[in-house]
Structure 1
Amino acid sequence: MLRAGALLAGVALLAACSDNPDDPTAPAPVETEIPEELQSAGPPAIVAEEAGIGTPMEERVATIGLLNKRNNLSQDLELKPGEQQRVGDVIVRVSACERTAPWEYDKDEGAFVQLLVLERGSESDFRKVFSGWLYKNKPSINVVEHPIYDVWVKACAMEYPGEE
């Protein structure tokens, strides 16, 4: 009995709701205008990457963590975009490094990384096992899946204009 009463009350509430714009009980939208001082300003200009906001790409430095799971040895690699470094059977390449601007709310750092691993039984045949963006604060977005090596971004050293 209680269920039937609750069901009837729910149906009555739904029937009272109306999507009809001609319904006299529906509130009318309030029209607003853009203030005069903002009308002349226009939209903000889009700053092209070539305009040089922040440190130029070739001067940035990515700090990449590399862990060898076999021997539990980890080390930090400092690479500028375009550089690569070989550590044992692995080559780590960095193509780009970026961090969010200081005025943005969600702070993060990332790098475009490629990981090449020496094929078993070979002396010079490397196979690319990962290529993509890695993020410091969101490592689960893109993960290096390799049974021996783990790679992650620790930092991207760069500056924006006005930073201290």
Structure 2
Amino acid sequence: MRFGFFGFLIGFAIFPQDGQAQSAVQTADGAVLRGLDKVSGDIQDFPLRAGSSFDLGALNVALSECRYPVDNPMGDAFAYITISEDPLQPPVFMGWMVASSPALNPLDHRRYDVWVLRCAMSEASTE
């Protein structure tokens, strides 16, 4: 009897139940990223379209995709970013960054910080 009850509890913990709330997201045309040079203190904002990139010193920052909650377009953006220092080496960062929690999955670089400010949408998609 004891093992049956514990097995039941483990089953609930391992297999998520149908009907769990998930907020719907929309994909934006681009994003606004902010870059910080920790040595000079320079801060720059970079509006990017999905699929484009910019250079921040020795880093190349490429935006693949930016998503935001449908019910709150100006809310919590999350963007998939690839940051490379040398094109012949693996990226120094590749993954999702969340605008409201930049420390959740940060770029770990000795000189530069990069984080997401918001998704950027075309005027037609906001009407």
Relative distance call for 1:85 and 1:158 in structure 2 (3 A) is same
List alignment gaps of at least 5 residues for structure 1: 1-52, 119-123
Structure (1 or 2) with the larger CA radius of gyration: 1
Partner Cα separation in structure 2 for residue 126 and residue 162 of structure 1: 37
- The AA in structure 2 aligned to 1:112 is Y
**1:141: how far off?**
2.0
Relative distance call for 1:126 and 1:79 in structure 2 (3 A) is farther
Which of 69, 82, 88 is 2:57 aligned to? 88
Return structure 1 stretches of 4+ with deviation > 3 angstroms: 124-127, 161-164
- The AA in structure 1 aligned to 2:104 is I
Aligned equivalent of 1:141:
104
Give SS of 1:128's match: coil
Higher-RCO chain (CA-CA 8 Å, sequence separation at least 6): 2
Partner Cα separation in structure 2 for residue 127 and residue 67 of structure 1: 22
Aligned equivalent of 2:78:
110
Q: RMSD across aligned C-alpha pairs, in angstroms? A: 2.8
TM-score, normalising length: structure 2: 0.67
- The AA in structure 2 aligned to 1:146 is H
Q: What is the count of residue pairs matched by the alignment?
A: 101
Q: What is the percent sequence identity of the aligned residues? A: 29
CA contact (8 A) 2:58 2:85 kept: yes
